[in-house]
Chains A and B, each alone.
Chain A
Amino acid sequence: MSAILELEGVSRNFGGLKAIDNLSFVVNEREILGLIGPNGAGKSTLFNLINGVFPPDRGRIRFRGVDITGEPPYRIAKHGLARAHQIVQPLEQMTVLENCTVGACFGRESLSRARASEVAREAAVFVGLEDRLEVAAAHLNIAGKKRLELARSLAAQASLLLLDEVLAGLNPTEVDYMIGVIRRIRERGIAILMIEHLMQAIMSLSDRVVVLNSGQKLAEGAPAEVANNPLVIEAYLGDPELAKEFRGEAR
């Protein structure tokens, strides 16, 4: 299996805080890699570094063999790396279809507006927004907005998706639906790096899991391995319930 995303000794400080500290790992082609860790472990910061919201202080990031370290987000998007935000970022006054059209127009393939709107339609249908194509994004409920985040990154025809807590705030039915969507995305051959607090979901979806704590990699491996790693359990001990749930799911 070849790597699609490689991080090599990536670090980023905010003032005296080491948000990300000498972190290295790879995401392989067609794989779902789960990224977990306690609150404040640096997960979202890591996403910001990968998709260029701010550059790392040290280290290299390579995407499909190309060094993308320090490139601005709009260039990284062109390489085929898309992101769904934890705090949804819809283009509010634009319709669902237009939101996705922006993704398709400016994504990996620079499509014309006409072609982009076809790709956008497919993406919106794929996540189950077909009945809300002409609805302004502002009028969607939270589940709809989360789906829109996914649809936009699909429309961009990316080869790697960064999913930042796309299941957070959803009810159980919606979570099941989203898990189905994520599985179908993977079946299309798209690699996924996902942050999730919902252990049940991350343990069943991920091929491998990376555990982050205080900006450092605490553990890496198959979900079951990681869940039984004493270091990981200790990191989660601040929350014993979560630690229990963690081991329970992996069995």
Chain B
Amino acid sequence: MTDLASTHVAQRRDSVLRRPFFWVIGVAVIVFALAPWIGNDVELRESFMLATIYVILASNLNVMIGYAGYINFGSIVFFGLGGYICVYLMAVPQWPLAAAAPAAGVIVSALALPFGLGILRLRGAYFALATIGVNEAVQAFVTNFKPWGGASGMYLSTALFKPLGGPMQALWTIYFLLVAIMGLSLYLSWGIKISKFGLGLLAIGQNEDAASVMGVPTPLYKAMAYCATAFLPAMAGGLYFFKGAFIQPSDAFDLTFSTEAIAIVMLGGQGTIAGPAIGAFFYEQLRGWLLTSETFSNFQLVAAGALLLVIVLFLPGGLMGWLYQRWPRLSRWIE
């Protein structure tokens, strides 16, 4: 996986707009948005909608795992908490979606900063365990928090779909918003990677002590990464649970989702931008196939586990690592 975690210095001085990858992301996002819409294919939309969620979770997680080298097992807490805040703001103070979803993102990010400063003092397995702990603690809190419906959760009135043009139109709107958040996630992780902040995170990922001696403000940078990658998943959680008009603790803080996101990051190639996105897309397709096949329907996670094992053993650089090895010039186009 040589050079995977690296960016290309020669290109650095070019403006962002002149770099092919900027346009590759844009075109991919537009294709993603239009593909189900053109044929009004609702089934494809549902499949793609889940894929956008996976891409959003994996891309943001990648900044922690692939850049900073910190395995966040509980990244789903951003998604779940974002969902709760958004649903609550819409159900009780009756905020419109346009205000509730961004508010969820802001609140979750703001909470992530102090949490990050705390738990990111831990390293390796201890950090991974702490992130699971945070997720479990938040889930336990929400389960006992009466204003949010406790263990039975919260429902949204379907009347809330009306401002979006009724349930049919609302689902399309939610889909387009999720595609937009997916695009923002990709631009965010790319933007971080080519920035000075990203260089600092990559240095932390390679050797945290050396990075600190070279002047990288490690505690702050790690917490900033944790905080920045909470925002978009929290918004996505808001949209996702708004779409279902229902949220309960066991769905919102499901560690399965977190684990899948880690598998996706590894599958696609940690540290690359395209890797987690492509990995997420294929993982969603595979998952759909496994769930609907008679023989495998209960083995979806077994497959994810086996996949992870194979990747770690044979393809440590993931899909992108393998592609770069075969075609080194690809890295100019797909980063």
Query: A residues touching B (Cβ–Cβ < 8 Å)?
Result: 51, 53, 72-75, 77-78, 82-83, 85, 89-95, 97-98, 101-103, 105-107, 112-114, 116-117, 136, 138-139, 152, 156
Give CA–CA (A235, B202) in the complex, Å.
45
Interface 1/0 per residue, B113-136 and A, CB below 8 Å:
000000000000000000000000
Give CA–CA (A115, B82) in the complex, Å.
39
Query: B residues touching A (Cβ–Cβ < 8 Å)?
Result: 1-7, 9, 12-13, 194-196, 199-200, 202-203, 206-207, 209-218
The reply to whether B195 and A113 contact each other, CB–CB distance below 8 Å, is yes
Give CA–CA (A97, B5) in the complex, Å.
14
The answer, among A74, A94, A112, A117, for a CB contact under 8 Å with B216, is A74
List A contacts of B214 (CB < 8 A): 74, 77, 82, 102-103, 106-107, 152, 156
B192 to chain A, nearest CB (A): 12
Give CA–CA (A152, B3) in the complex, Å.
19
Q: A113 and B196 in contact (CB under 8 A), knowing A91-B207, A93-B4, A98-B6?
A: yes
Give CA–CA (A85, B195) in the complex, Å.
27
Q: A113 and B12 in contact (CB under 8 A), knowing A51-B213, A93-B6?
A: yes
Give CA–CA (A79, B241) in the complex, Å.
49
The answer, among A53, A73, A102, for a CB contact under 8 Å with B203, is A102
The reply to whether A92 and B206 contact each other, CB–CB distance below 8 Å, is yes
The reply to whether B6 and A95 contact each other, CB–CB distance below 8 Å, is yes
The reply to whether A102 and B216 contact each other, CB–CB distance below 8 Å, is yes
List B contacts of A75 (CB < 8 A): 217
Across chains A and B, which 9 residue pairs bring their CB atoms closest together, nearest first?
A: A77-B215, A106-B215, A91-B206, A89-B210, A73-B212, A93-B5, A102-B203, A73-B213, A74-B217
Q: A105 and B200 in contact (CB under 8 A), knowing A93-B4, A94-B206?
A: yes
Give CA–CA (A85, B212) in the complex, Å.
13
A111 to chain B, nearest CB (A): 8
The reply to whether A102 and B211 contact each other, CB–CB distance below 8 Å, is yes
Identify which of B199, B207, B210, B217 gathers the most chain A CB atoms within 10 Å of its CB.
B210
Q: Which residue on chain B has the smallest CB distance to residue A91?
A: B206
List B contacts of A90 (CB < 8 A): 207, 210
B87 to chain A, nearest CB (A): 41
Can you name 16 A-B pairs with beta carbons within 8 Å? A74-B215, A77-B214, A92-B207, A93-B6, A94-B206, A97-B9, A98-B6, A98-B202, A102-B211, A105-B199, A106-B216, A113-B12, A113-B195, A117-B12, A139-B2, A156-B214
List A contacts of B212 (CB < 8 A): 72-74
Give CA–CA (A75, B200) in the complex, Å.
14
Contacts A74-B217, A102-B203, A105-B199 aside, 14 further interface pairs with beta carbons under 8 A come to A73-B212, A78-B215, A89-B207, A89-B209, A91-B206, A92-B206, A92-B207, A93-B2, A98-B202, A101-B199, A106-B216, A113-B195, A136-B2, A138-B2
